[in-house]
Amino acid sequence: MKKAVVLLSGGLDSTTCMAVAKSEGYELYPISFDYGQRHNRELECAKNVAKYFGVKQHKIIKMENVGGSALTDKNIDVPDYKGDNEIPVTYVPARNILFLSYALGYAEVIGAEAIFIGVSAVDYSGYPDCRPEFIKAFQKVVDEGTAAGVKGKSIEIKAPLIYLSKAETIKLGTKLGAPYELTTSCYKGGEKACGVCDSCVLRLKGFEEAGIKDKIEYERSL
């Protein structure tokens, strides 16, 4: 069976990617990261999602926290949703570059043909590493900088949600049986999602526009 590494954060988008990869006939090899994020709730969710999909191995990589983001520095407050396209303080410097690099090495080791990443250029928070230009550039790195690439058997970076709105992503994941009740999207990591950070608001709007009930609990909701 063909293999795929899936970047699994424990959130809605990465869980949708797991469902998409499974639907395309891949054997799933999720990889998650402990990068010094301000809470471990998302990693617990990632473990639950991986268990739900019955994967053979779920790799969790421990990384040094370099700071510089509200998601990794508790001295920087997580802001409420603003709705603009400015790069927010929740941007983690070079995060997807680092994540994809680890995933790429892992993919070469296990002989995977693809890496799935749940980035979207439609409903996102202004992050530069969620754009099609970034995915295209990293694919060039894969093609030119790996043994698989130079041998003509390059590993494909697959971003199936890149042009989907959050509502379209939710509809797709629901159709494919993605277990959204096991996920979290909140930047604050409380027992209940805050409902007011960028990620919570985009998620809530997505479910509302999709006409589907979100099964997780919120402190506040739209």
Please state the residue numbers annotated as binding site for ATP. Answer: 8-18
Q: How many other C-beta atoms are found inside a 10 Å radius of the C-beta of residue 164?
A: 20
Mark the binding-site residues for Zn(2+), compressed into ranges.
186, 194, 197, 200
Distances (CA, A) of 5 to 23, 126, 216: 14, 25, 26
* CA–CA separation, 116 and 161 (whole Å): 10
Whole-number CA gyration radius for the chain: 17
In this structure, the dihedral spanned by the alpha carbons of residues 106, 158, 168 and 46, taken in order and rounded to 10 degrees, is 0
Mark the binding-site residues, compressed into ranges.
8-18, 186, 194, 197, 200
Q: How many other C-beta atoms are found inside a 10 Å radius of the C-beta of residue 3?
A: 16
- Residue 62 sits at φ, ψ, to 5 deg, of -90, 125
Query: Among residues 13, 60, 57, 42, which one has the least CA distance to residue 172?
Result: 13
